[in-house]
């Protein structure tokens, strides 16, 4: 392959890398995918260049309009970013992917890249607050109508579709922060509008929405996919035609992924499956321990038989993930005490990294919601979200049970 076509110089002694296409397990694909250059390097290569030399005017014209071109201008594409996109598409079972500068960059790119004035969106009430604000505050300014439904209610999405007008059905599963689930098979069966799933809480080693007929899978790859709290990324996966159609808006939007973040995201993918397996195991142990504590009113974790959609979780999740939520007796005061009392677990709003993080949802991730909106989302004054890290499970459980005891001693 010539340099003009984006090829790499390879030593004739360099052995060919294993072909990811010959394997199907997500654990293996996470290790093999995205080795775009075909070189001998095992770590991701960083292309920090913003600009690339154009070999000719004719080539430049082609490159400027090519969604797959990674050596023209980094807002359009970049070799490091393209390797991350290729890896994500492989893991998702998709034809193509587009990386963004953040999860909200990806959400905004999908919603505003697909919908125009006069269009209609169906979305669930149980959403990350940033997505909710975009849908309920920004979309109406552009003449885009949005109907919110209970994503856990069977048939709710389909019932709200307006034939000929609904452009997009948008879901999030498991939903932030109470881990409500959406039936992906039911969602994928909807015909007419495009369907999109924010699967941030369930990376590809847990769930692949496209396997159920969903059109678009998106992630805040800042979270579990990057996995080390050092990359701010979003990514959208789907058919080649769909990603190509989003590419044009994404270039104008300008929320392109930085090469350094894409490199860290690609590095994070290599250990994704083993990290999530460890986090899921600890989260299950923690959820069971909290369920038995008198100061805890309820626990939400898909791996518990008490989760109202446990059977659905067993059908569409390979693992149950490292996120859980619970409600403390004592409301806001108990929540404040809990966050202060935790010693190993740290108070922070992200998730999916090596450190166990605790979040009082009403005060942080969903602080901008009105009381009635918090209630509709199932977020109470004592709701705590936990992102389980990679510490020893006994230490995580002991720390959070101790914090729970101190927080609820006068309320339980």
> Which of the residues are catalytic?
75, 128, 198, 223
- Identify which of 154, 236, 226, 229 has the alpha carbon closest to the alpha carbon of residue 189: 154
Give the closest residue to 227 by CA, choosing from 326, 342, 321, 338.
321
Give Cα 313 distance to the centre of its chain.
17
Tokens at residue 32, please? 């093999």
**Total Cβ atoms within 10 A of residue 241:** 11
Q: Pick from 380, 386, 198: which is nearest to 279 by CA? A: 386
Q: List the one residue out of 187, 184, 145 whose CA is nearest residue 166.
A: 145
């Amino acid at each position: 392959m010539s340099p003009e076509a984006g090829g790499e110089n390879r030593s004739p002694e360099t052995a060919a890398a294993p072909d990811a296409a010959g394997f199907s397990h997500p654990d293996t694909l996470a290790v093999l995918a995205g080795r775009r250059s075909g070189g001998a390097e095992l770590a991701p290569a960083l292309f920090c260049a913003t600009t690339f030399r154009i070999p000719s005017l004719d080539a430049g014209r082609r490159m400027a309009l090519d969604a797959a071109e990674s050596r023209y201008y980094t807002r359009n594409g970049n070799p490091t970013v393209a390797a991350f996109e290729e890896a994500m598409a492989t893991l998702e079972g998709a034809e193509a992917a587009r990386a963004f500068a953040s999860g909200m960059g990806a959400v905004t790119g999908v919603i505003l890249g697909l919908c125009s004035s006069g269009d209609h969106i169906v979305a669930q009430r149980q959403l990350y607050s940033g997505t909710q604000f975009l849908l309920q505050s920004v979309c109406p300014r552009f003449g885009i109508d949005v109907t919110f439904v209970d994503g856990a209610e069977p048939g709710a999405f389909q019932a709200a579709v307006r034939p000929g007008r609904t452009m997009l059905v948008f879901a999030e599963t498991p939903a932030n922060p109470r881990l409500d689930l959406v039936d992906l098979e039911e969602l994928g069966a909807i015909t007419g509008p495009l369907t999109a799933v924010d699967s941030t809480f369930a990376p590809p080693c847990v769930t692949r929405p496209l396997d159920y007929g969903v059109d678009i899978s998106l992630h805040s790859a800042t979270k579990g996919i990057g996995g080390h709290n050092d990359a701010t990324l979003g990514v959208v996966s789907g058919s080649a035609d769909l990603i190509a159609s989003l590419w044009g808006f994404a270039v104008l939007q300008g929320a392109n992924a930085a090469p350094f973040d894409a490199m860290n995201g690609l590095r994070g993918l290599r250990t994704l499956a083993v990290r999530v397996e460890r986090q899921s195991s600890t989260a299950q142990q923690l959820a069971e321990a909290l369920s038995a504590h008198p100061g805890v009113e309820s626990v939400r974790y898909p791996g518990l038989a008490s989760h109202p959609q446990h059977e659905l979780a067993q059908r569409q999740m390979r693992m149950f993930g490292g996120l859980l939520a619970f409600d403390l007796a004592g409301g806001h005061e108990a929540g404040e005490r809990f966050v202060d009392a935790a010693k190993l677990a740290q108070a922070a709003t992200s998730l999916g990294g090596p450190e166990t993080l605790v979040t009082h949802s009403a005060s942080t991730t969903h602080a901008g919601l009105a009381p009635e909106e918090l209630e509709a989302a199932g977020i109470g004054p004592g709701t705590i979200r936990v992102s389980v890290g990679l510490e020893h499970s006994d230490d995580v459980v002991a720390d959070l049970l101790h914090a729970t005891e101190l927080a609820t001693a006068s309320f339980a």
